[in-house]
Amino acid sequence: MGITRRIFMIGGATVGGGLLLGIGGVGAHLMTHNRINTQRDGHTDNNSTLVNLWLRITPDNNIIVINPHTDMGQGTATGLMQIVADEIDADWSQMKSQAAPADVAYSNGKVFEGFMREMVTPPEWAGNLVENGFYRMGDLMKMQMTGGSSAVRFTGWDAMRKAAAATRQMLLAAAAEKLDVDIASLKTQSGTVVHENSGQSYTYGELAADAANRDLPKDAAFKAADQWRFVGNSIDREDVPAKVLATAEYGIDAEVPDMQYAAIATSGVFGAQISSIDNADEIKTARGVSDVLIVPDGVAVVADNPWRAEQAVRKVVFQRESHANDTLHTEDVVQNQRDALAGELSEGLSTGEAVEGAADIKAEYLVPYLAHATMEPMNATVWMQDGKLNVIAGVQNPLGARQRAAKEAGMKIDDVIFHSRQMGGGFGRRVAFSTTGDEPLSWLVQAVRIALHSNKAVKTTWSRETDTRSDVYRPLVLGQYEGALADDGKPLLWRSRSYGKEMNIKAIAPPYAIPNIKVSYADQPHPIPTGFWRSVEHSQHGFFVESFIDELAMAANADPLQYRLSLLAKDSAAASVLNKVAEMSGWRYGADADGRAMGVALVHSFGSTVAQVVEASMTSNGVSAHRVWCAVDCGTAVNPQAVEAQVQGAVHYALSAALYGKCDLKDGGIVQSNFHDYRLVGLAESPAVEVAIVKSDSPIGGVGEIGVPPLAPALSNALAVTDGVRRRSLPLV
């Protein structure tokens, strides 16, 4: 069926030509789930060799890593190159990367699996709870996802490392045959196979075509960690120079001949569609304006300059259908959740013997809807050419976006050409998948409609206001917590109820040893579109869980950091990062003479463990976060400086949310619109963030999101020390 054929075609056409030989068990298993282990095919096209799905070796001995992930600043390409360079035994100067096409062959089952697993699997220690993370596997082939902090740990560590190790074996075998020597007498170094006895050698480029014809080794061993030359080293990211020189191309920078520009005004009420436009004729008289039309969730104006389009769309007078959301306010959503929590709930986790007696410590927490606010607003450029629909956009899932565009245009996916671009921020906004049925690609849908309607090349760009008001939001969540202490001050029981669809139990369960835990949730939907927001449920539930454990510690009159340690196994990753962060920060419990105090939080997410200490105080301007220390256990840190950058960035991302972030609902729409009322932390108020990566033998974990969840609780916990006031809702300012 199509798999072999498709890879064949990619080798020939899309990836840039090449001899495609010997795909199969290596790498390819990720997309076919072991159904195809021995596929092989031959196709000579030019003189470079695609040894397997992930690697191409050129005659001049460049090793090209084909990266199925898209860039939003996380440094994936470099991390993958490091892994391959070590395992195949090449020099850094040989390494290149190339973006994979938006094609099924590069859909990433494992990545998606990792994503789903993170969302729905119970913690390991909860034992026999059913793992239901795979029930959407049918969707798998549509996913070429960058998300779930999965690129380096799954694509890289699981797949590419295997592919590179096997490729090295195949190169050795090819050389052994050519030289007619025992393979054991050969070694690899710097992209060559060397026969030391005779001094003969071949470059990988010379061997690639032969190597690709060989059987796949079953037992290609990985290098030991002490042989790594690249993994574990801070290497400059290959995407950085173009961003510094401003030559990197983002979706919004697209240029197509005779391109027009569209601006969008939203209907103003989630779900409500526009029924008619009152002043279309008048709008069309404005300079440069060529079209005014109704699109899903709004109206569009097409003009010959984006500013003219934006000016005109703001003047469109339209009629809107009435909708159940017309009178929706934040208070209604909160009340609705409170009612739901009083009703029948889904059980998330229940451990230990039920404890008699009252839970006398109670807390209700609330976090708001949040927009992603990527610095580059949503945009797509769409046009028809030679019977094909062309799309330029930056997305976290090019294949999903390609499919969505095809569906909207009523075309076959093969008739859509997707030109993937650098993203000016992703954070979960630019995925093409939702668990809720909400449409994260509504901007792409609009762009396709507009281009087809106008029969022109059109770049559709959302204004900041439209972007803020048309997001798929981080869900507003209400959480109710109850606990009781044993005589020794340790928690005796822990109960929580919270609101959320298809909850990730890992995110809502406490990581601490507590005799009786009962975690339940109201598995109900939201009235407005929701989606994945950097760190997904961990951002809300990390705040709840780590605030409540702090409340218990305070009730027990205990140092909150020591209290946590007393509830963790001594040799656990959690204990190790807590000890580390205590050491880095010079942990102290209690406010100093300047009224500054420290707070701590600990969150496992995406296979990694992070503890943070925030030093904060209340000042005349409100809350001030002075310094942040992060101790990270992500197993193997492939590129430590990139890990540091991701964690620092995540802290500032989370700090904006903790201090200022909220999207209020009024009359069915979002009140906030731009950075004056949806504030981001600026440089002056950004705390210095120190990151330490602890040595560990934990499995490799994700990195991009793990710095987010501990920040808000650590900050709020610090403030509670300064003034004894427990802040149970965000934002703090």
Q: Which residues bind another protein (CB under 8 A)?
A: 71-74, 236-237, 239-250, 252-253, 255, 261, 287, 305-308, 310, 373-377, 422-427, 461, 463-464, 641-642, 645-646, 648-653, 655, 674-676, 680-684, 686, 688-689
273 binds, among another protein, ligand FES, none (CB under 5 to 8 A by kind): none
Indicate the residue among 240 and 725 with the shorter CB distance to ligand FES: 240
Q: Which of 547, 718, 710, 688 is nearest to 617 (CA)?
A: 718
Provide the CB-side half-sphere exposure for 467 (13 A, CA).
Answer: 20
Give the DSSP H/E element, type plus range, for residue 339.
helix 330-342
Q: 497 or 652: whose CB is closer to another protein?
A: 652
Residue 189 interacts with which of another protein, ligand FES, none, CB < 5 to 8 Å by class: none
C-alpha dihedral sign at 145, 150, 152, 154: negative
Q: Where are the alpha helices (DSSP H) in 226-291?
A: 240-244, 280-284
Considering just the CA atoms, what is the radius of gyration of the chain in Å?
27
Report the partner that residue 246 touches, choosing among another protein, ligand FES, none (CB closer than 5 to 8 A by kind): another protein
Minimum CB–partner distance for residue 16 and another protein (Å):
23
Identify which of residues 517 and 645 has a Cβ nearer to another protein in the complex: 645
117, 457, 628 from 132: Cα distances, Å: 8, 44, 37
At closest approach, how far in Å is the CB of 690 from another protein?
Answer: 9
- Residue 518, phi then psi, degrees to nearest 5: -140, 115
Q: Shortest Cβ distance from residue 371 to another protein (Å)?
A: 11
| Closer to another protein by Cβ: residue 69 or 497 | 69
Q: Residue 236's binding partner, choosing from ligand FES, another protein, none, with beta-carbon cut-off 5 to 8 A by kind? A: another protein
Out of another protein, ligand FES, none, what residue 130 binds, judged by CB under 5 to 8 A for its kind, is none
User: Which entry of another protein, ligand FES, none binds 255, CB below 5 to 8 A by partner kind?
Assistant: another protein
* Antiparallel, parallel or unpaired: β 491-499 and 516-522: parallel
Residue number, 317 or 375, with CB nearest to ligand FES:
375
Task: For another protein, give the closer residue by CB, 426 or 731.
Answer: 426
Instruction: Identify the residue whose tokens are 């030359």.
Output: 229
Q: Which does 305 bind (CB under 5 to 8 A by kind): another protein, ligand FES, none?
A: another protein
Of residues 20 and 423, the one with the C-beta less far from another protein: 423
Distance in Å, CB of 256 to another protein, minimum: 12
DSSP 71: P
Q: Which does 373 bind (CB under 5 to 8 A by kind): another protein, ligand FES, none?
A: another protein
Q: Which residues contact 548 (CB under 8 A, 6 or more apart)?
A: 363, 365, 481, 483, 494, 496, 510
Taking the complex as a whole, the smallest distance from the CB of residue 425 to ligand FES amounts, in Å, to 5
Task: Count the neighbouring beta carbons within 10 Å of the beta carbon of residue 594.
Answer: 9
- Give min distance, CB of 450 to ligand FES, in A: 23
The two tokens of residue 557 are 């009159």
Residue 422 CB, nearest approach to ligand FES (Å):
10
- Tell me the residue type at 114: G
The residue (of 254 and 581) whose beta carbon lies closer to ligand FES is 254
> At closest approach, how far in Å is the CB of 462 from another protein?
10
CB of 371 vs ligand FES, minimal distance in Å:
15
254: closest CA among 468, 457, 71?
457
Q: Are 47 and 16 in contact (CB under 8 A)?
A: no
Q: What b-and-e string marks burial along 46-82, b requiring 16 or more CB atoms within 10 Å of the CB? A: eebbbbbbbbbbbeebbbbbbbbbbbbbbbbbbbbbb
Q: 365 or 427, CB closer to another protein?
A: 427
Give the pair of three-digit tokens for residue 390. Answer: 């062309």
Q: Whole-angstrom Cα distance, residue 294 to residue 273?
A: 9
Contact yes or no for 43/94 (Cβ under 8 A)? no
Could you tell me the smallest distance in angstroms from the CB atom of residue 536 to ligand FES? 20
CA angle 464, 536, 377 (to 5 degrees): 15
On whether the CB atoms of residues 276 and 306 are closer than 8 A, the answer is no
- The residue among 480 and 624 lying less far from another protein, judged by its C-beta, is 624
Shortest CB 628 distance to another protein, Å: 10
Range 416-452 burial, b when 16+ CB lie within 10 A, else e:
bbbbbbbbbbbbbbbbbbeeeebbbbbbbbbbbbbbb
The closest alpha carbon to 575, from 556, 562, 585, belongs to 562
With CB cut-offs between 5 and 8 Å by kind, which of another protein, ligand FES, none does residue 307 bind? Answer: another protein
Q: How far apart are CA 223 and CA 238, in angstroms?
A: 24
At 113, give phi and psi (nearest 5°).
Answer: -60, -45
Compare residues 267 and 648 and give the one whose CB is closer to another protein.
Answer: 648
The answer to whether the CB of 527 falls within 8 A of the CB of 502 is no
Residue with tokens 């961003």: 243
Q: Considering CB distances under 5 to 8 angstroms, the limit depending on partner class, which of another protein, ligand FES, none binds residue 645? A: another protein
- Residue 243: CB minimum distance to ligand FES, A: 8
Question: Which of another protein, ligand FES, none is residue 385 near (CB under 5 to 8 Å by kind)?
Answer: none
**Cα 584 to Cα 621: distance, rounded to the nearest angstrom:** 28
Question: Would you say 404 or 421 has its CB closer to another protein?
Answer: 421
Which partner in another protein, ligand FES, none is near 676 (CB below 5 to 8 A by kind)? Answer: another protein
**Minimum CB distance to another protein, residue 684 (Å):** 4
Q: Which is nearer to ligand FES, 617 or 656 (CB)?
A: 656
280: helix, strand or coil: helix
Smallest separation (angstroms) from ligand FES to the CB of 651: 14
Residues engaged in binding ligand FES (CB under 6 A): 73, 375, 425
Helix residue ranges per DSSP H, 395-537: 398-409, 442-454, 464-469, 505-508
Q: How many Å apart are CA 392 and CA 378, to the nearest integer?
A: 12
Reported in sequence order, the residue ranges of 1-51 that DSSP labels E, i.e. its strands, are 19-20, 49-50
Which one-letter amino acid corresponds to residue 570? Answer: K
Give the phi and the psi of residue 153 in degrees, each rounded to 5: -75, -35
Q: Return the residue nearest ligand FES (CB atom).
A: 375
Closest approach of another protein to the CB of residue 236, in Å? 6
The entry of ligand FES, another protein, none that residue 144 binds, CB within 5 to 8 Å by partner kind: none
Nearer to another protein, 108 or 639 (CB): 639
Q: Does the CA dihedral 104-106-110-112 come out positive or negative?
A: negative
Looking at beta carbons only, is 243 or 338 nearer to ligand FES? 243
Residue 570 binds which entry of another protein, ligand FES, none, CB below 5-8 Å type-dependent: none
Binding-site partner at residue 684 among ligand FES, another protein, none, CB < 5 to 8 Å by type? another protein
